[in-house]
Amino acid sequence: MKKQNYNKIFFAGSIRGGRQLIPTYQYIIRFLKSRNFTVISEHVAAEGLEKVEAKMTEQEIYEKDVNWVEESDCVVAEITVPSVGVGYEICHAARHKKPVLCLYETGANASAMVLGNTTGYVTSSSYSDKKQLEEIILEFLEKKE
């Protein structure tokens, strides 16, 4: 079996749905980058992103994100904070046969539409601390074909 080649990762996290997990988004992105992965959407963890995106049209945001999903090797999505946009990105990635890892805090009321996805492209895991979060991410990224 050959190792997956996940170099370019699209990270998805809530923007308009709520920004309370910015520190977690930043942690995940730092962790991925420390393992030499390229995160093409690290702006999701930026403070004040709403102000930057306010200068863009919805069409510009849509095109940027779907293009990035399509050029990525996989998607890592933090889904604790419900977000229609993140759900769309997950679905778009699965439709394009991109592996998706959905992460959520233990006890969170994660979407049944995500958790019940059995297409084979979406994996969902809850985490209770940063160590477990790192283990789940590494297990996903190091899967064998």
Report if residue 1 sits inside a domain: no
Would you report the helix, strand and coil content of the chain in percent, each value rounded to 5? 45, 20, 35
Residue 74 lies in a domain: yes
- Of 144, 96, 89, nearest to 111 by C-alpha is 89
Backbone angles phi, psi at 55, to 5 degrees: -85, -5
In a domain, 96, yes or no: yes
Residue 33: CATH number of its domain: 3.40.50.450
3-state secondary structure at position 23? helix
Please tell me the distance from the alpha carbon of residue 11 to that of residue 82, in angstroms, as a whole number. 15
Residue 101 lies in a domain: yes
2 within domain boundaries? no
Look at the chain and report how many structural domains it folds into. 1
**Structural domain includes residue 36:** yes
- pLDDT number for residue 73: 96
Q: Enter the pTM of the model.
A: 0.92
Question: Residue 4: what pLDDT?
Answer: 59
Asked if residue 119 belongs to a domain, the reply is yes
Q: What are the tokens at 103?
A: 């992460």
* DSSP type of residue 39: E
pLDDT tens across 57-79, in order? 999 999 999 999 999 999 999 99
Range of the domain at 38: 8-141
Q: Among residues 137, 145, 136, 143, which one has the least CA distance to residue 9?
A: 137
Total Cβ atoms within 10 A of residue 84:
10
**3 pLDDT higher than 50:** no
